[in-house]
Amino acid sequence: MGVAGSFPGYAGRPTGPVMDRDEADRALARLGAEHEAVESSLLALQDHAGRRLLEGADLTGVTKERWAAAEQAITLLWVYFDAYTGALASAREIRSRRRHPGKDDLVALTELLRGEAVTVGNARAAASGPSLTGPARLSERFTLEELVSRMNDLYARSLDMVVASDAVWSALPARIDLLAAELRRTRSLAQSVGVRPGEHPAGDDLEEITQELTTLRVQVISDPLAFWLPGPGSAAPGGGRPDTARYDRAARALEDVRREIEAVLAVRQDAEQRLVRLRDVLSRADRTLAEARSARGEVLAKIAASEVPAVSGPPTALQERLAAASEHRRHGRWSRLSPLLDSLEREAEDELLRARESLTSVTAPLAVRAELRGRLDAYKAKVARHGLAEDPLLIERYDAARRMLWSAPCDLRVAEQAVQRYQRAAADLLTPRRPEGQGGYGDGETS
């Protein structure tokens, strides 16, 4: 069905075999479908929200550079598309002349559909003038296939930057605005509890977050591509995601400040109860120290040759800081009250523990004397149960130990020796003896 031979192409070069009618019809159908697809894509790009935003934005940085290149690419796209449309219309006009095209029509169709039949002016070469390698080409010639490939490449690069910019603008400014609104609420709450810049670290943090969000929003609006992370190995236009690292850091910093301010707010709500508990703890520590001082005097008077540790005075420094905390509460200085209460609670508990340890160490000699007294009376009751209470040796040793334990000052070392002598004497009498000539022990009570 095809026409044999070849035809002279442009500049006298043959372009290949002449197409037959079916080949020409199939090529027209395919190129027509590609024309519709390209047209739909170009119209979609023209109406894309990101492109409209880019046209009206005051751009800076990498976005400004890439948008300038993209604008040239989009303009060239329409130039290529118009040339493509004209060539396709010419091919359709030739095909519509006859139901069964003749040889001349098929040659012409072959030239249009397969040959470098499309001439496009090179506007950039005309504007730049002659190059170092010779005069610039003022026009380029393409086949329809080459023109489609060129348009696809320009479209993909233009769409990529438009989609990326739109993705950043869709994601970050709204989130920054929401975070800024939360920041304003947090600042208002901070001021209500006395957290202000220059007076509290959280106030300084809020000031820094405010400046960061303001700067970040300006930069995102003017240079969105600076906040775009291309996807690894992604060939699709717009493959990647917005870079939210700076936003995320600001959000985490604000959350930390918010928790700190909530802690200060909690201090305002329960400050009076905490102050009451602090006064109670310090009062108990003071009473315990007073008891220890009194006990120390008693020990020094009643116990001889005993080293008694000194007892510290009342916690006046803590009392002064407690008074300062009450002043902070009275004047609503919650940001200062919060750390002061935390430290006071820890130190007050430590002070009470030290007071109790001091009382224990001071009264230790009295506790030893009481234990010796109890041991002496317990052994006296034991020997009485065995009918040995009237034993002269036991009576003598009991009286000696009792005189030492119930006299002042009491020498604990000598008194303990006296109690031990009484115990040994009682143990000797309570231990049954073996009758002479017997080889076993008796069955008497031994304890």
Q: List, for residues 288-312, the tens digit of each pLDDT value.
A: 888 888 888 878 777 775 677 777 7
In this predicted structure, the answer to whether residue 201 has a pLDDT above a threshold of 90 is no
3-state secondary structure (DSSP) of residue 179: helix
What pLDDT does residue 5 have?
29
What is the pLDDT confidence band of residue 179, given thresholds at 50, 70 and 90?
Answer: very high
Helix or strand holding residue 298 (H, E): helix 245-302
Residues 6+ apart with CB under 8 A from 118: 83, 84, 86, 87, 141, 142, 143, 144, 147
Q: Which two three-digit tokens encode residue 149?
A: 């490939």
Q: Which of 83, 84, 107 is nearest to 95 (CA)?
A: 107
Identify which has the larger pLDDT, 81 or 442: 81
Tens digits of residue pLDDT in 96-105: 777 777 677 7
Q: What is the pLDDT of residues 395-421, one digit of tens each?
A: 888 888 888 888 878 888 888 888 889
Compute the CA torsion angle 292, 295, 299, 300 (nearest 10 deg).
80
Average pLDDT, the chain: 80
Residue pair 274/341 in contact by the 8 Å Cβ criterion: yes
69 and 154 Cβ atoms separated by less than 8 Å: no
What angle do helix axes 144-192 and 49-56 make, rounded to 10 degrees? 70
The rounded distance, in Å, linking the Cα atoms of 94 and 380 is: 139
Q: Which of 287, 425, 276 is nearest to 356 (CA)?
A: 287
Question: DSSP per residue over 377-441, as a string?
Answer: HHHHHHHHHTT-TT-HHHHHHHHHHHHHHTSSSEEHHHHHHHHHHHHHHHHHHHSPPPPTT--S-
DSSP, collapsed to helix, strand or coil, labels residue 135 as coil
Closest to 370 measured CA to CA, from 398, 397, 410: 410
Q: What is the pLDDT of residue 319?
A: 85
All structural domains of the chain with their residue ranges: 6-163, 169-266, 268-362, 366-430
pLDDT at residue 323, rounded to an integer: 87
Q: β-strand 139-142 against 118-121: which pairing, if any? A: antiparallel
d(CA 7, CA 111): 8
Task: Compute φ and ψ for 427, nearest 5 degrees.
Answer: -65, -40
Q: What is the largest CA-CA distance in the chain?
A: 157
Q: Give 89's Cβ-side CA count (13 Å radius).
A: 6
- The yes-or-no verdict on residue 4 having pLDDT over 80 is no
Q: Between the CA of residue 425 and those of 333, 371, 406, what are the distances in Å?
A: 73, 19, 21
Query: Which residues are paired to 240 by β-bridges?
Result: 230
pLDDT at 109 exceeding the cut of 80: no
Contact residues for 350 (Cβ-Cβ < 8 A; gap 6+): none
Of 133-137, 142-146, 323-327, the range with the lowest mean pLDDT is 133-137
In angstroms, how far is CA 385 from the centroid of its own chain? 76
* pLDDT value at 157 more than 80: yes
Which of 197-206, 229-238, 262-271, 276-285 shows the lowest mean pLDDT across its residues? Answer: 229-238
Residue 337: what pLDDT? 80
**Beta pairing, strands 228-230 & 139-142:** unpaired
Q: How confident is the model at residue 313 (pLDDT cuts 50, 70, 90)?
A: confident
Cis before residue 409, ω within 30 degrees of 0? yes
Give the residue with greater pLDDT, 126 vs 282.
282
Are 193 and 334 contacting, i.e. CB atoms less than 8 angstroms apart? yes
pLDDT-based confidence at residue 439 (cuts at 50, 70, 90): very low
Give the C-alpha separation, 218 to 184, whole Å: 18
